[in-house]
Amino acid sequence: MQPHALPAAEAARLIRDRALSVEEMARSCLDRVMARDRQVKAWLFLDPDLVLKRARELDKRTAAGLRLGPLHGIPFGVKDVIDTSDMPTTQNSPIYPDTRPGRDAACVAIARHSGALIFGKTDTVEFAAGGRKALSTNPFNPHHTPGGSSSGSGAAVGDFQVPMAFGTQTGGSHIRPASYNNIYALKPSWSLVSREGARMSSLSLDTVGWYGRTVADLKLAAEAFRLPELPQPEIQVKGLRVGLCRSPVWGRIEPTGALALESAAKRLEAAGAIVVPLDLPPAFDGMAAARDLISADEGSGAFLPEYLAALPIMPPDIKARVERRGSFDAQKLRAAYTLADGCRAQFDGLFGPALDVVLTPASPGDAPEGLHTTGDAIFNGIWTLLQVPCVAIPCIRSARGLPCGIQLVGPRFADNRLLAIAEACAPIIDNEPNWARQTLLG
C-alpha cells in the first residue's frame, strides 16, 4: 500500500518507528493529488515546495529524537474558511481573493504544534454558508457532489489525497460529506474545539471537526485537542444499548439512506447489540425549524461587515440573510433558543442504563447528481442545534455505486466515550476494508 493510502493512525506509527519518513508520506500524497486533482478539484491552495519544506523540518525532529506529538507527520487539509499563517484564506469568495491573515486559527495551531503537516487549503462553499459552490467533485463519480460546505476536505480524504482534514458544521456541513465520500468524521460537542480564526456564521451552531479514514484516526486528533476523558468501562458491542432514531424528519429520507440505517442496525444486532426504536419527545418536532431560524438570524449579524464593505459582489442568498434584520422577530427567536435549551437537557437525560448511543442517518441518501447542490442537511441540523458529538461511519453502497453512511450520536461532552463506542461498532457497521476503497478509486 502506498503511503498516501494509509490511515493516519497507521502512518503515525510508521513515522514514529522510523519506517516511513514525513517527506516520503508528503511526496506520496502530492503524487496522488497530481494524479487526481484535474477530476476531484479538492484544493484551493497547495504549494508542493512548502509542503516538502515543512515535511523535512518534521523529519529533523524525528532524527533529533525530540518528543513527537500525536499527529506528527500526518498531512492535514484545512477547509478554506479556517485561517493559516502561511497560506491564503479566501473563503471561496471574490471579496477575499488573496487574503493572508498571518496567523493560524486555533485548531490549525493545535494541529501544527501536535506535529501535523498542514498540507493546503480545501475548497468550500462560499463563507461555508451560501453563495458560490466548491468546484470539488465526488471521488466515486465526478458528476455527483462531495457534499458541503466542507466539500474539498471530504473529497480530499475520500480520494486518499490526505489522511485527515478539518471541516466545519453549522447545519450538516461536516457529517454529510463524510457520508457521501465514504470516510469517518467527528463533529465534537459544541465549544470543545476553539473556533478562533475560523469563519463563523452562527455563534451557537458552528463547530470545527475533522475527517479520517478510521475511528483511530479521529482519536489521534481528539488526543491532540485534549477532549475530556471520562471514566468508562471497556466497550463491548454485545449488550450495547443502541437507540435507532429515525428522527422527526424521517419523511425526508431516501431509499438508500433508509437502507443504510437498517443495514447498520441489523449488523449491530447480529453482533449482540440491543437495538431498540428511539422516538424523541414531541418537543423535538420543532427543532429543525428552530435551527433554521437561529442560523438565519445569527447569520444576519455575522455577514453585516461584508454587506457594508462589498455589497455589489455579495452573494444574493447571504445578502438576504443580512436584510432579514428588517423583519426581526424577537419573540420567535427567543422561543427557538428556549426550545433548544430544553431539548438539550432532555436529550442528555436519555442516556444511562437504558441507552448508550443513538444510531441515526448521516444524510438522506447517497450524493445527489450535479455540482449545483451539496445535498440536504435535514438529518444533521437537529444534532447540530443540540450541540452533541456525532461520529460518521461508512456503511453501504447505493445502486449507483455511491457511498452512504450513518452517524452515532452521544450526549454533550461525552465525545471520547462516543469515539470508544464508534471504534467498537465501526468494524461491524463498515465492512469494506480501507485497501478496498483505495483500489476502487484507482
Catalytic residues: 79, 149, 173
Buried b (16+ CB within 10 A) or exposed e, 49-78: eebbebbeebbebbeeeeebbbbbbbbbbb
Minimal CA–CA distance to 201: which of 286, 45, 324, 312?
324
Whole-number Cα distances in Å, 123 to 126, 201, 288, 293: 9, 17, 27, 27
Q: How far apart are CA 222 and CA 360, in angstroms?
A: 22
Query: What is the secondary structure of 299-363 as a DSSP string?
Result: HHHHTHHHHHH-GGGS-HHHHHHHHGGGG--HHHHHHHHHHHHHHHHHHHHT-BTTBSEEEEESS
User: Cα 78–44–291 angle (5° rounding)?
Assistant: 60
Tell how strand 184-187 and strand 207-212 pair up: antiparallel
Rounded CA separation 268/54 (Å): 43
Separation of alpha carbons 118 and 140, rounded Å: 25
Per the listing, cell 476523558 goes with 229
As to burial, measured by CB atoms within 10 angstroms (0-12 exposed, 13-18 middle, 19+ buried), residue 144 is: buried
Q: In residues, how long is the chain?
A: 442
> How many whole angstroms separate alpha carbon 348 and alpha carbon 412?
7
Q: Are 129 and 60 in contact (CB under 8 A)?
A: no
The beta strand positions in 22-108, using DSSP E, are 43-45, 75-79
Cell output for 302: 455575522
How is residue 198 annotated by DSSP?
A: B
* Helices 316-323 & 287-302 angle (0-180, nearest 10): 90
Of 148, 77, 152, the closest CA to residue 380 belongs to 148
Burial class from Cβ neighbours inside 10 Å (0-12, 13-18, 19+) for residue 439 reads: exposed
